[in-house]
C-alpha cells in the first residue's frame, strides 16, 4: 500500500519489490485511460479505499485493466476502471536520484524477469527449508554490525545478510539461505544503533 503526499507518493509495501523499495517516491502522471497499455505501472484507488495501489497492467479489456504486482503470485481480484482514476507511474525518486519506470513492451519484459526471479526464490526457499535442519550443526556464528544506517551480518569476514534502515527485514546473500531463514534472523538480530556491534553464536 502507498501513502499519498504532495509531489507524488511514498511507496509502502512489497507487491512491487525489485521495481520499488519502501521509501521510494513515485511520480504519477495523468494519462487518458485508453492510452495506458499492458506493461505500464499505474496507481489507482480501489473501490472503497482512500489509499492508492501501485501495480502493473497485465491485461486489457473493453473498458478495464487487469493488474498485478510484480511480486504477487496472482493478478488482482478486481479490474481497474476509469472511475478509479488510474495514473501512469512515470518515475521514481530514490535517495534523491530520479529514474524512469519502464512500461509498455519493456515493462512486460521486466514483469516476466521479476516473475522468474520470484519462482527461483521459491525454489531456493523450499530447498533451504529441507536442508536447513541438516546443516544447523555446521553453520557459523554471526556478528551483527550497524553502519551507515543499515545492518550487516558477518560470518567471519563474509557478509551473510543485509538489512536496510527503512524497516525491511534481513535479506540473505546467496548460499546463506541454506543455513538461515529470514524470519529467524529478523527475530534474533534486531538492528542496533549506528556504530553498534555484537555477536551471537
The verdict on pTM exceeding 0.75 is no
**What pLDDT, on a 0 to 100 scale, did the predictor assign at position 194?**
38
66 and 145, same domain (yes or no):
no
- In percent, the amount of the chain with pLDDT more than 70 equals 87
94 and 180, same domain (yes or no):
no
**pLDDT grade, residue 104 (50/70/90)?**
very high
- Farthest-apart Cα atoms in the chain, separation: 60
DSSP tag of 48: T
Domain assignment of residue 17, yes or no:
yes
**pLDDT grade, residue 1 (50/70/90)?**
very low
20 and 103, same domain (yes or no):
yes
Question: In this structure, are residues 61 and 42 in contact, taking their beta carbons and an 8 Å threshold?
Answer: no
Domain assignment of residue 38, yes or no:
yes
Q: Count how many domains the chain has.
A: 2
List the strands of the sheet with 142-147, edge to edge.
171-172, 158-164, 150-155, 142-147, 197-200
- Residue range(s) defining the domain that contains residue 39: 2-114
pLDDT tens, position by position, 152-169: 888 888 888 888 666 667
**What pLDDT, on a 0 to 100 scale, did the predictor assign at position 8?**
85
19 and 109, same domain (yes or no):
yes
Give the angle subtended at the CA of 162 by the CAs of 176 and 119, to the nearest 5°: 55
**What pLDDT, on a 0 to 100 scale, did the predictor assign at position 201?**
40
Domain assignment of residue 73, yes or no:
yes
Q: Who has greater pLDDT, 60 or 188?
A: 60
Domain assignment of residue 60, yes or no:
yes
**What pLDDT, on a 0 to 100 scale, did the predictor assign at position 198?**
43
159 and 79, same domain (yes or no):
no
Domain assignment of residue 128, yes or no:
no
pLDDT tens, position by position, 35-72: 999 999 999 999 888 888 999 999 998 899 999 999 89
Amino acid at each position: 500500500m502507498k501513502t499519498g503526499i504532495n509531489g507524488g507518493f511514498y511507496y509502502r509495501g512489497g507487491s512491487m519489490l525489485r521495481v520499488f523499495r519502501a521509501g521510494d517516491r513515485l511520480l504519477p502522471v495523468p494519462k487518458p485511460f485508453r492510452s495506458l497499455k499492458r506493461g505500464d505501472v499505474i496507481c489507482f484507488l480501489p473501490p472503497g479505499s482512500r489509499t492508492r495501489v501501485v501495480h502493473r497492467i497485465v491485461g486489457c479489456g473493453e473498458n478495464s485493466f487487469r493488474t498485478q504486482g510484480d511480486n504477487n503470485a496472482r493478478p488482482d481480484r478486481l479490474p481497474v476502471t476509469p472511475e478509479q482514476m488510474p495514473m501512469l507511474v512515470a518515475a521514481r525518486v530514490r535517495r534523491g536520484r530520479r529514474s524512469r519506470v519502464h512500461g509498455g513492451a519493456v515493462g512486460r519484459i521486466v514483469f516476466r524477469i521479476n516473475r522468474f526471479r520470484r519462482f527461483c526464490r521459491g525454489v531456493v526457499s523450499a530447498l533451504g527449508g529441507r536442508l536447513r535442519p541438516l546443516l544447523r550443526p555446521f553453520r557459523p556464528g554471526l556478528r551483527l554490525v550497524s553502519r551507515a544506517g543499515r545492518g550487516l551480518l558477518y560470518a567471519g569476514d563474509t557478509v551473510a545478510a543485509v538489512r536496510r534502515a527503512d524497516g525491511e527485514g534481513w535479506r540473505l546473500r546467496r548460499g546463506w539461505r541454506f543455513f538461515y531463514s529470514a524470519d529467524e534472523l529478523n527475530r534474533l538480530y534486531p538492528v542496533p544503533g549506528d556504530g553498534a556491534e555484537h555477536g551471537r553464536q
